Chains A and B, each alone.
Chain A
């Protein structure tokens, strides 16, 4: 990746993070009374006596949680697809730099038919 392309990629990531931060700030401003649900052993439960007995704590609902799970799964799948696309393009760019190879794939799959002139570049990983 050239320095210019890297700079563009960094700017895009920073821009996306700014948008995300702005969205979270907006949510924070509209929901100031957010708190936290218990997760593990050391979270000591808060028992409230209200109405007919124990309870009265509004739960972190299963529906919202599982929606978050589904969204995260989609994001993960998208990230994998994007990573695969980037890897494919990078591989194609590298293959196209091989000398004397009009069709580098055929040269790789059929080396005796298309000559064995190799590309001895120390490819960057």
Chain B
């Protein structure tokens, strides 16, 4: 994979500040367009559910208002119903959020399109349009707070690994946490909001009611489940893509490549996985008598052995596609790349559910389940097997992207060392360009001069690499010398010189 300039377009003849404002306006318009399309699709789901064929008499207008019969409201099925149902209050709040978002857009149309007020209105609109979907996730998380807490350490460790995998031009930690939050709250909420309605709609069209025997009704139910899973898988990848695009637009002045997309996508997937794990750990803990699973088993699968599988891998794939598309010059090429990755990720998600379940059913012919081998090896392997090709693709994309980045790091460090400023010296350049050498210097400094000196050295090296990353980004963007980017460069240089002085003081003491 060769490095290419990001799609910066022709050189600007307008003043640099005006050009920057125009770019901000375009980014805001794109962000609003993406979110408007998502809301439009949701309203279509609501309309389809309203227009569905009715199976039973006295069905509510929307299937999410369906109430379980009184005699089944006690015991475990009550919990089952509440876990699958969409809270009605959350549904109405989502509609209220959409209404408020429309009002804000009307206000924004009557104001000047540039300036701080326009920016604030845009982000407020985006927050009200999609923020209310987080209620669906918060209901799940609040219903099992201890389980949610138990999922934090593994998710935090995985997020740390994802952050460390970048090697150069790191995304800021708040950006990764935002991606995680998007996955945990918005992506998961969107998936449940859309699919709760879609399940009722699909059931209305495919379920023949009381006609036919038990076998026919079971067959109808499984077909409904299959189509619902297809729908859920597509909505999940679409929601992940929306979050990744919004984050890339928000942080568009950063380096955007395959690694950027992979990392943001993986972080988004980790957040989704965290919320989904809470749901399954709670649900399967109740249904263990019927399906052999337990809450602990679900934790082992979703938060341990298959932590980097599932939506993490598919989110990373979607992110990689968007990162690649961002580097493409032609619009048609960008669209083809994004569509291909969405199709691949959706297919992978469906295959994981269907193939893993099919393999499990084949293995169950021996009847005896729950042995140690089954728990620790067979069941996890059957779940992971369909995901392996996608994991391999993600690893290969990461490897390829990192090769380009590390080559760019060597060049950027050398160029910064050759520039006036003294932030990176000729002596320091080979140390900065080699991750193993950097690690050796920090550990050896710790041994010789103590922890404070080692931490100061690490902060200095990180600041120097950030400066080199800024220079790389300047070169990719075509060095238009916009005022904001030059100011950022000077700020980074000042930070490096300050940290170097602190480090020398600690080493000398």
Contact = CB atoms under 8 A, between A and B. Distances in A.
B254 interface: no
A68 B354 contact: no
Specify the main secondary structure of chain B where it touches its partner: helix
Contacts of B438: 91
Contact of B364 (A24, A36, A116): A36
A15 interface: no
A5 interface: no
A33 interface: yes
Interface string B418-458: 00000001111111011111111101110010000000010
Interface string A93-113: 011000000000101111100
A58 B369 contact: yes
A41 B236 CA distance: 14
A87 interface: yes
Contact of B293 (A34, A39, A63, A76): A39
A122 to B, nearest CB: 7
- The range of chain B's interface size is 35 or more
A34 B368 contact: yes
A84 B287 CA distance: 43
Contacts of A62: 294-297
B356 A68 contact: no
Contact of A68 (B300, B357, B378, B407): B300
Interface string B358-372: 011101111111111
Contacts of A110: 504, 507
Contacts of B375: 37, 60-61, 64-65, 68
B357 A61 contact: no
B19 interface: no
A3 interface: no
B442 to A, nearest CB: 9
A47 B363 contact: no
Most buried by B among A28, A36, A76, A116: A36
A66 to B, nearest CB: 5
B377 A24 contact: yes
B290 A36 contact: no
19 contacts: A35-B367, A37-B370, A38-B291, A39-B293, A40-B357, A41-B229, A42-B353, A45-B287, A57-B370, A59-B292, A59-B293, A61-B294, A62-B295, A65-B299, A68-B305, A68-B376, A69-B303, A105-B445, A118-B426
Interface of A: 24, 27-28, 31-47, 54-55, 57-66, 68-69, 72-73, 76, 84, 87-88, 90-92, 94-95, 105, 107-111, 116, 118-123, 125
Given A42-B354, A44-B222, A46-B290, 16 more contacts: A33-B366, A34-B366, A35-B363, A37-B291, A39-B356, A40-B280, A40-B352, A47-B290, A55-B289, A57-B291, A60-B374, A65-B297, A87-B435, A88-B439, A109-B441, A120-B430
